[in-house]
Amino acid sequence: MKKFIPLLLVVLAGAAISNEPGEALENLIDAFYQGDALAVETGLSSKSINMLSMMLMMIKMQPDQAAAEISAELEIALTGDELLSWTTADFIYVLISAPGITDQLPMREDIEISSFDIQGDCSTVFLNIPDYPENVPIAMVLEGDDWKLGESFLQSEL
């Protein structure tokens, strides 16, 4: 589960407009801890949103089975009928607010941005998270004027 926590800290967090990738990631993490699914969705790159939408579509193919698995893993009550009505924002909200996830997270104040490296429209932001031996690299991409979570991070973790 430790490998899953950085993903959740970032994937399911929101961002305010920022011209600096470290600040954008701080905003993502803040929104995650505040349970703001719409801000989380705003903080994801368009490719990341498409990836989550495809995941949701696949989950909806067997809604009763998926609901049972999600209920058990995330410690929430969920039916197949409820799952069928989910939007991407609903999916994100469940992931960032489920007790099966939030109970395992470090305190927000313990997560720090240690550095970042910008290469054109791509950036790697390094998170310092307690109990992790090394900084966790997070891929960000510049879309328009905003830094957003890159899909390469989602692909590597999901």
The whole-angstrom separation of Cα 30 and Cα 23 is: 10
Domain total for the chain?
Answer: 1
CATH code of residue 98: 3.10.450.50
Whole-number average pLDDT of the chain = 86
- The label of the residue with tokens 């997560």 reads 111
What range defines the domain where residue 27 resides?
Answer: 4-157
Beta carbons within 10 angstroms of residue 107's beta carbon: 8
Residue 69 is encoded by which pair of tokens?
């698995």
Alpha helices in the chain (DSSP H): 4-11, 21-34, 37-42, 46-59, 63-74, 80-84, 88-97, 99-102, 151-157
Residue 142 CA neighbour count, 13 Å, CB half: 14
pLDDT tens digits for range 91-125: 999 989 999 888 888 999 999 999 999 999 999 99
pTM: 0.79
Q: Please name which of 105, 76, 107 lies closest in space to residue 91, comparing C-alpha atoms.
A: 76
Query: Mean pLDDT across the stretch 10-26?
Result: 67
* E strands, 98-153, in order: 112-119, 122-128, 136-143, 146-149
Sheet containing 112-119: which strands, arranged edge to edge? 112-119, 122-128, 136-143, 146-149
pLDDT tens digits for range 64-100: 999 999 999 999 999 999 999 999 999 999 989 999 8
